[in-house]
């Protein structure tokens, strides 16, 4: 496909700073990502569609590898996973962080080395643990005291499994109460303040078939400041020093989790990855020197920051309704493919694509097609005043925690995922159809 690029000055268009780096303005109001027109994607694959820029994903993987050359970077699969994503992550040299047997099995059957996989989960099912041990995952992160005996029994007296302990460091960070996981008032991990983590560590060290390789903490998501990570790291290093003093065991790994914040709209803050890497390294070496502790290998688990900015959701407008002073623009998707606005109140910056508009801007609310008043995709955003049914809207920064949390609400079906790269588009995940729902519904 040949893309004719429109200059910035001629376009007079909106800020594209949160879009994939490959994004180009086209004549007549169009946009191309990865060298492919988004309007052409909509025509070819129908809408809603999720467009994933392979080059952006790979570039962000490399950015992490460059920033943390002496660390293990694990992609957090919960943000988005597909067979293609597994391949991209593997080829870029990252490890993988999974939370279920489903994510684990998909990754391994797609060719990902199980020894480079870490299994998480606050309530691991028997199937999760069976799959992890059968496939040979590199680490299992113990999240609660009951898991110690369960894992040890599943491994058996002659078996061996490397494990880590998820510690709650007592640090509050994150973009919303529902995604803050570093304090004692939530379901994850073992508390540092009440001694739960220390007690669990003692029990694990008493299980010869379990090898405790290190500690893990995850303090929240959508974090845009470096300081909370440094506070958590100091507390984790302090605990590692106490483990050495109490048990004579020097742990070799420290996993500081992920939660690295990104900008969803122009002008919003994002975590400075270079600053994070530099200051984490400095703090780790300083703390270990003060404690006379061997510096452990650092692990980090970015998910959103790798795939979020690489995705664009494309919708078609179904209706425009004027209600008093409000304008509602209803599209052919909604909370079934992106529940995040309803869950967290997140804000997006949708943009008209596929045609140019000379109409003045006006405030509108983009809503979905579902039978919920809370089915709002973007509240109070600026859109052309002449927007009408049949128009296309594109929403950037749509790669993470949208399709991975999609549902079958109203039996609408989950959208297709289309990869774009160097001027070509291909289907990664097909659209869910009525036949899919029928095939699962076996009762009468």
* Among the listed residues 425, 428, 427, the one whose alpha carbon sits nearest the alpha carbon of residue 37: 425
Q: In 43-67, which positions are buried (b, 16+ CB within 10 angstroms) versus exposed (e)?
A: eebebbbbbbbbbbbbbbbebbeeb
- The position carrying tokens 């086209």 is 26
HEC states along 83-152? Answer: HHHHHHHHHCCCEEEECCHHHHHHHHHCCCCHHHEEECCCCCCHHHHHHHHHHCCCEEEECCCHHHHHHH
Kindly name the residue from 99, 217, 288, 371 that is annotated as catalytic: 371
Cα separation, 342 vs 159, in Å, equals 45
Classified as helix, coil or strand, 234 is helix
**Is 371 part of the annotated catalytic residue set?**
yes
The structure tokens listed for 325 are: 């002073």
* Among the listed residues 307, 310, 314, the one whose alpha carbon sits nearest the alpha carbon of residue 41: 314
Cα separation, 23 vs 5, in Å, equals 10
Classified as helix, coil or strand, 381 is strand
* Among the listed residues 328, 341, 347, the one whose alpha carbon sits nearest the alpha carbon of residue 389: 328
Crossing angle between the packed helical segments 54-67 and 273-290, to the nearest 10 degrees: 30
List residues bridging with 298 in a β-sheet: 254
Kindly list the distances between the CA atom of residue 209 and the CA atoms of 239, 250, 319, in Å, as whole numbers in the listed order: 23, 18, 61
Distance from chain centroid for Cα 431: 21
Q: What is the DSSP string of 293-314?
A: -PPPEEEE--SHHHHGGGEEEE
Residues forming the active site: 371
């Amino acid at each position: 496909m040949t893309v004719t690029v429109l200059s910035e000055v001629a376009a007079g268009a909106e800020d594209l700073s949160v879009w994939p780096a490959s994004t180009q303005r086209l004549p007549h109001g169009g946009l191309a990502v990865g060298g492919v027109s988004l309007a052409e994607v909509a025509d070819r694959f129908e809408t809603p569609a999720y467009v994933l820029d392979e080059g952006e994903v790979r570039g962000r993987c490399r950015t992490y590898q460059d920033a943390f050359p002496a660390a293990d970077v694990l992609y957090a699969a919960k943000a988005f996973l597909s067979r293609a994503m597994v391949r991209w992550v593997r080829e870029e040299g990252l490890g993988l962080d999974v939370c279920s047997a489903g994510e684990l099995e998909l990754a391994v059957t797609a060719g990902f080395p199980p020894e480079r996989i870490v299994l998480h989960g606050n309530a691991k099912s028997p199937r999760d643990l069976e799959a992890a041990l059968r496939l040979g995952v590199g680490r299992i992160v113990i999240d609660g005291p009951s898991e110690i005996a369960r894992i040890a029994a599943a491994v058996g007296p002659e078996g061996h499994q490397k494990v880590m302990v998820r510690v709650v460091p007592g640090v509050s960070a994150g973009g919303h109460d529902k995604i803050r996981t570093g304090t004692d008032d939530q379901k994850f991990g073992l508390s540092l303040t009440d001694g739960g983590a220390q007690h669990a560590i003692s029990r694990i060290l008493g299980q010869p078939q379990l090898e405790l390789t290190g500690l893990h903490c995850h303090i929240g998501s959508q974090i845009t400041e470096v300081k909370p990570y440094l506070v958590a790291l100091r507390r984790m290093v302090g605990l590692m020093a106490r483990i050495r003093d109490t048990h004579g065991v020097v742990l070799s790994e420290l996993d500081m989790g992920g939660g690295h914040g990104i900008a969803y709209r122009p002008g919003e803050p994002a975590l400075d990855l270079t600053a994070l890497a530099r200051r984490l390294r400095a703090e780790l070496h300083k703390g270990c020197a003060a404690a006379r502790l061997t510096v452990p290998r650092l692990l980090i688990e970015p998910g959103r920051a790798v795939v979020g900015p690489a995705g664009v959701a494309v919708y078609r407008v179904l209706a425009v309704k004027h209600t008093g002073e409000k304008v509602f623009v209803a599209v052919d998707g909604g909370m079934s493919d992106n529940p995040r606005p309803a869950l967290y109140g997140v804000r997006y910056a949708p943009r008209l694509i596929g045609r140019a508009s000379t109409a003045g801007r006006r405030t509108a609310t983009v809503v979905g097609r579902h039978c919920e008043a809370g089915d709002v995709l973007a509240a109070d955003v600026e859109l052309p005043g002449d927007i009408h049914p049949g128009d296309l809207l594109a929403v950037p920064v749509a790669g993470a925690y949208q399709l991975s949390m999609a549902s079958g609400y109203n039996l609408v079906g989950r959208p297709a995922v289309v990869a774009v790269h160097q001027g070509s588009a291909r289907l990664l995940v097909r659209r869910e159809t009525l036949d899919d729902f029928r095939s699962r519904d076996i009762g009468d």
